[in-house]
Amino acid sequence: MADWDDIKTEFGGDETAAFGPRKETGSALYQIDTVATIACRDQGNTVVPTAASSVLGDVTCLAVDKNLVLNTSSILSLESAVEVVEWSPDCSLVVLGLNGGRMYVLDAETTEIIFSMNLVSHDRHVGGKAFRSIIFTATLHLVILTADGQLIVQPDVQLHKS
C-alpha cells in the first residue's frame, strides 16, 4: 500500500498557486476554499486511497488511508486506513472507525487517544470494510453501524473533560 502522506495545509487565500486560477463566471452563491491536500509521494501510484471526512461548523477532519488531518494543523498516522470519522456536537472529540476494526475516540485539541476498542473482527468485514457509519445524535448518543449491519449505541456520551 502506498503512503498518502504528502500533506499540504494553510493555503489561505492563495490556493490558486497549487491548482491554477479559478474559472468562475457570473455571480456565485458559494465559496470554495482549499483546506488541505493529501497526495501520494509515489508519483507512479495508481491505487485509489480510502478517504473519509467530517465537517462541523468551522472544524474539519480529513483522513486518507492511514493519515488523519484535524483542522489543518494536527496530523496523525494510524495503524490502518480510516473508514469513517465523526465530530462530537461540541467539536471536542473525533471518533474514528479504522479498517482493522478498531474504533478510536480522540481529544480534538490534543489529538490524544481517549478511548479505543476493537469492535469488528476480521471475519465480520464485508467487502474489505469494517464500518459503514458513525454518528452522534442530538441527544449525545454515539451510534456505530458496522459493515456487517451490527448497530452499536453508546447512550449519553459525556463530553466534558475531567
**Digit-coded pLDDT (tens) for 40-84:** 777 777 778 888 989 888 888 888 888 888 886 778 889 999 999
Q: What proportion of the chain, given as a percentage, has pLDDT over 70?
A: 77
How many folded domains does the chain comprise? Answer: 1
Question: What does the alpha-carbon distance between residue 152 and residue 154 come to, in Å, rounded to a whole number?
Answer: 7
- Rounded to an integer, what is the distance from CA 83 to the centroid of its chain? 8
Does 140 map to a domain?
yes
Domain that holds residue 93: 44-154
Q: Which residue has the cell 487517544?
A: 113
Answer for the pair 66, 6: CB distance below 8 angstroms, yes or no. Answer: no
Residue 61 lies in a domain: yes
Interatomic CA distance for residues 161 and 11, integer angstroms: 32
> pTM of the predicted model, to two decimals?
0.76
Burial (CB count within 10 angstroms: exposed 0-12, middle 13-18, buried 19+), residue 53 = middle
CATH number at 111 reads 2.130.10.10
